[in-house]
Amino acid sequence: MLYIGIDLGGTNIAAGIVDENGKILRQGSVPTLAERPIEEIVDDMAKLCLHLIEEEGLSMDQIESVGLGCPGTVDNANGVIAYANNLKMENTPMRKLLEAYFPGKRINLENDANAAAYGEYIVNGGGAKSFVFITLGTGVGGGIIIDGKLYRGFNGAGAELGHMTLISGGEPCTCGKPGCWEAYASVTALIRQTKAAMAAHPESSMNKWTEENGKVSGRTAFECSKAGDKAAKAVVDNYVKYVADGLVSIVNIFQPERISIGGGISKEGEYLFGPVRELVRKYDYNKYMPKTKISAATLFNDAGIIGAALSK
Amino acid sequence: MLYIGIDLGGTNIAAGIVDENGKILRQGSVPTLAERPIEEIVDDMAKLCLHLIEEEGLSMDQIESVGLGCPGTVDNANGVIAYANNLKMENTPMRKLLEAYFPGKRINLENDANAAAYGEYIVNGGGAKSFVFITLGTGVGGGIIIDGKLYRGFNGAGAELGHMTLISGGEPCTCGKPGCWEAYASVTALIRQTKAAMAAHPESSMNKWTEENGKVSGRTAFECSKAGDKAAKAVVDNYVKYVADGLVSIVNIFQPERISIGGGISKEGEYLFGPVRELVRKYDYNKYMPKTKISAATLFNDAGIIGAALSK
């Protein structure tokens, strides 16, 4: 059987037809235009999927289920998106809305970070008994897989790994709590840290880089550090420490068999992960048993489609 | 059937005969005398158990299994205590040592914090789908129960909840990593915070309390705060913030149905838990779904015996 996975983001709706091994047979995307009424967005989501099914030459009988990954608080038990800020959803009866387009199909609703975690697990998890997925993006998201199943907490709202405390009473976080990991290890935070260093070090090549590239990004400090800039290296070193210190918490809590790290910044590869891994090893409470394997995620945007399609 | 549970601590060996509901039928304890060779300690552990069985008028046929809760890194799969600092164990073949006294019985080895967590869960968990147990004692320990089973990580070394980061780069922790939750929320940390406030405020009644009671303890700041001392109240308020900020991490990660908090300091009851609960509610990332229930543990030392007896 085949599975439809939809990744509903603030900018784009991506969808794909996925087989049971996590292979995407066909995929496409359309703009979300998030300001619209949700019924119109759902209509575009469904039409995208129906178009993919037609393009692939499939009949609806070959589709087992339809899964949606979506930001915010997802109440799959009741078929409802409890809340999604960017998409103006509150208590939205998403299962009912989708059932109108896919009569008789099982409709599964999942938090987008959980869906991406499950996608990475299916394709790259190697059957790990415990697996944690982190995205270092605009925010810091996460997903937890234990014994092959997503761990969501008793109310479905768990795995908000970006909202662990990293510095009690520290930088404000968008969630309202000061000092979250997200407020230090997200790309948003890295840009803030980069800008502060640029202001403090007018001589740093980060200022020139920014002039040439139009704006400060998550790459600014990394690229200038690689080119030998001292202030940029200090930014990267500090960012590495923040990423590692949150990962140590995850390791000491879960001792997961694998941690996979995605999001834009994961493209920095070993320049980031080498020193991160070293710090995690140093501070891991476990000194005697086998160690968690930490690696970069590989699926990028596909993870959300695959996970939405296959998570249960 | 009945189950033997042993709680091996640095000071005392406690053991009990436990039924399948977590009721202790008979219990006793002997000093550990931790400096001795481990074989002598095991001999005393076993003799204590055999004595309890005899006192209770039982035959060995009525005993299903023997479980040991023990500090340190426990490798139950291989029947070995990988490492326990206070008890001078390293790669100790504990299952083999115990089998000599209990031939043919299943011998289960468990980390002591995990055992206590499981004991509290069996007796006070109310069948929660997810349950986290925290001890605020000399250190901060924890245990995680998911779907009725202890979560230990892929290598058995997980659930070291006291070694989450609370303040990245902060106070040194005994584990070698700076800034652990344990370095702020343990009784040891509270005593350090109390002493600092006493030095900064010679007029505080905490100084007089300490003269009268012989030494600073985890109770000093709480008792003086209740009696109206301002500096003591500041210590308690700050400690509450540290406890709550770690709990928020646990809530945002697990969204467990219940959190149960034990250890000496939990005897402060609602004077501690009232404001802790308020802060956790305030900073919980979940604003739309049902909330985690936070309460004081009730079993104290019995939890370790019960959990060691019944955990699998």
CB-based contact A189:A182 (threshold 8 Å): yes
Give the pLDDT score at B87. 87
Q: Is A190 helix (H, G, I), strand (E, B) or coil?
A: helix
Backbone torsions φ then ψ of B244, nearest 5 degrees? -65, -40
Residue B196's CB: how many other CB atoms inside 10 A?
11
**CATH architecture, domain A2-119+302-310:** 2-Layer Sandwich (3.30)
A289 interface with B at CB cutoff 8 Å: yes
Q: Is residue A144 a contact partner of residue A127, using CB atoms and an 8 Å limit? A: no
The domain spans of chain A are 2-119+302-310, 126-296
CB contact under 8 A, B73 and A286: yes
- B285 and A157 in contact by Cβ < 8 A? yes
Cβ atoms within 10 Å, residue B20: 12
DSSP state for residue A105 in the 8-state scheme: S
Residue in A252, A257, A287 closest to B154 by CB: A257
- Asked if B182 is an interface residue toward chain A (Cβ–Cβ < 8 A), one would say no
* pLDDT score of B312: 85
CATH code for B125-296? 3.30.420.40
Q: What is the pLDDT at residue B88?
A: 85
What is the separation of C-alpha A208 from the centre of its chain, rounded to a whole number of angstroms?
31
Is B141 in the A-facing interface, judged by CB distances under 8 Å? Answer: no
Q: Residue A108 and residue B163: Cα distance in Å, rounded? A: 36
B19 CA: distance to closest CA in chain A (Å): 29
The whole-angstrom distance between B66's CA and the closest CA on chain A is 24
Q: Which of B166, B279, B288 to mutate to test the interface with A (most CBs of A within 10 A)?
A: B288
- Residues B213-267 have pLDDT tens digits of 999 999 999 999 999 999 999 999 999 999 999 999 999 999 999 999 999 899 9
pLDDT at B158 over 90: yes
| DSSP line for chain B | -EEEEEEE-SSEEEEEEE-TTS-EEEEEEEE--TTS-HHHHHHHHHHHHHHHHHHTT--GGGEEEEEEEESSEEEGGGTEEEEETTTTEEEE-HHHHHHTTSTTSEEEEEEHHHHHHHHHHHHHSTT-SEEEEEEESSSEEEEEEETTEE---TTS----GGGSBSBTT-SB-TTS-BTBTHHHHSHHHHHHHHHHHHHH-TTSHHHHHHHHHSS--TTHHHHHHHTT-HHHHHHHHHHHHHHHHHHHHHHHHH--SEEEEESGGGGGTHHHHHHHHHHHHHH-S--SS---EEEE---TTHHHHHHHHH--
Bridge-based pairing state of the strands B89-92 and B106-111: unpaired
Q: Which residues of A touch B184 (CB under 8 A)?
A: 168
Per-residue pLDDT of chain A (312 residues; tens, 9 = 90+): 999 999 999 999 999 999 999 999 999 999 999 999 999 999 999 999 999 999 999 999 999 999 999 998 999 999 999 998 788 899 999 999 999 999 999 999 999 999 999 999 999 999 999 999 999 999 999 999 999 999 999 999 999 999 999 999 999 999 999 999 999 999 999 999 999 999 999 999 999 999 999 999 999 999 999 999 999 999 999 999 999 999 999 999 999 999 999 998 999 999 999 999 999 999 999 999 999 999 999 998 899 999 999 998
For residue B286, give both structure tokens: 């979940």
Q: Using a CB–CB cutoff of 8 Å, tell me whether A277 touches chain B.
A: no
Q: What's the pLDDT at B107?
A: 98
Kindly list the residues from chain B whose CB atom is less than 8 angstroms away from the CB atom of residue A152.
Answer: 255
Tell me if A2-119+302-310 shares its fold with A126-296. yes
What pTM did the predictor assign?
A: 0.95
**Helical H segments across A37-104, by residue range:** 38-55, 94-99
Dihedral, CA of residue A177, residue A182, residue A183 and residue A184, to nearest 10: 140
Considering only the top CATH level, what class is A126-296?
A: alpha beta
Per-residue pLDDT reduced to its tens digit, B281-308 = 999 999 999 999 999 999 988 999 999 9
Cα–Cα separations (whole angstroms), residue B174 to A105, B134, B183: 55, 18, 8
Question: In this complex, which of A153, A156, A165 lies closest to B166 when CB atoms are compared?
Answer: A165
Query: CB contact, 8 Å: B235 with chain A?
Result: no
